[in-house]
Chain A
Amino acid sequence: MSRIQVDRELVRKVADLAQLSLSDSEIGLYQERLSKVLSYVEQLDSVHESLGQDWRPDTARGTLESSTPERPDVVVVSLPVEEAMRQAPARIGTAFQVPRIIE
């Protein structure tokens, strides 16, 4: 069993965050599977890493000398709007249509 309590409430909460809707039986299924996988990955807890205070995964990428590549500020011709809109499941004019957003 995972030390994190994977209950139906948690599964629903995560599904909400991920914009997935689950049926009752799916919630049960995912609860079981997530619980199993989570208890497996929890073994990472027991790894003692001696990487030091200053080592961070995000800043350790690339090298100190090289920064993320940059491109010049020169306009590149955009996609023709018909191309941009061609596969829109719903549109009005050249805008994508969605149900009314309530602010």
Chain B
Amino acid sequence: MATTTHTAMDLRAALERVVGATHVRDDAGTLLTYATDATPLERGRPDVVVFPATTGEVAGVLRVADERGVPVVPRGSGTNLSAGTVPQLGGIVLVLTRMNRLKEISAGDLVAVCEPGVRTIELARAAAAEGMLFPPDPGSHTTATIGGNVAECSGGLRALKYGVTRDYVLGVEAVLPTGEVIRSGGRLVKDVAGYDLRRLLCGSEGTLAVMTELTLRLMPAPEATGTGMAYFGDLADAARAVSRVLASGVLPVTLEFLDRVCIDAVEGYANIGLDRSAGALLIFGQDGDRASIDRDMRRMAEACEAEGATQVRIAASEAEAADVLQARRAVLPALSRLEPLTILEDATVPRSRIAEMVERIQEIARRHGLTIGTFGHAGDGNLHPTIVLDPADAAAMEQAHAAVDEIFAEAIAMDGSITGEHGVGLVKLRHLEAQLGAEHLALLRRIKAAFDPNGILNPGKLGS
């Protein structure tokens, strides 16, 4: 005990020398609020929380930790949904929100340069003010930091047309767990000097290095956006409409669906006039110039009608478009109000198999006596099966865990993924081998060891 106390004192003192006493916190209340992220049920207990302001301070903290073999869990705003930022082995939570300088928006090079603690929406707004678009827009973009989005390779609603965060990372500056600072990539679209480490770090979930500066690709902003919606008797019709849309030469910016459970929950909560008798709702949209939006919206409406849509509507005004999108935005709040606990998954399948997968999920829900609403990104096959239940009901909790396991197994069997955009984190680690295989996992561990010989960075997660 005396040794532990001595070590803790020594660690705190060493960290204070790096970042200053006011940026080191170890009171019980602070430790408790950094024990979790946005993932339900999962919690750890850090020994100390540190708030560095510069790359040099990050390097200093990592050297202190590496010398002592203390775990370090990097974190932004804590919106992670796979417990990727839960410090389940204790140690240091390294909060990067003080590093929030937006250094540059360059219209000439179409890039943004910023520190990891900038919120994604701030970056998007700054780009928009200069007539540019930063396309990745995960659901948490008002809160989440760009550093967290890069570390998790976040997706969002526009992935089919614009890709995901990985497609916008041109360069990174990162600190290795042993304290050295490296740079990979930069402002260039073409750059093949060396392994593509910036891509490796994107989605590395804080297990390889701590990113301290990001150079991100921007796009010219589209002139306008169009939005529409279509109801279908069942999800299979909606899925065929999606295939028909894509075969018609349209690459839509938005293609989202809600299943019957979600439509019912949204209408019960928000009362916005949704048709509760429908089996599926498809929301579609396009951006670009006016003429091509009109053409694409017409084609998408026709494709929906051809596949038996019971009702199709194209929003005539911004206000009407906002109404349509509200249905999609209200899904999670509506589901979350049904029961105290909401388990949000992100199993992903090839888009041709969405209807099949949703049917399987409903069958799993029936068999386990659970309520599971499924919504998500029809264009890229990224589904969000969402289980709502009372965590006090031990039997239901057991059924829920079993249902999640089965959903993952189904996704893998359909050449899909256990996670499209939320990350492996802590909660999906035990399913990773089923998807990747033992040899692949062994390679991940060797890569991890090359970056992090002492295994201090987010240990017990990816690569451990």
**B is bound to A:** no
Chain B interface (Cβ within 8 Å of chain A)?
none
Interface residues of A (CB under 8 A from B): none
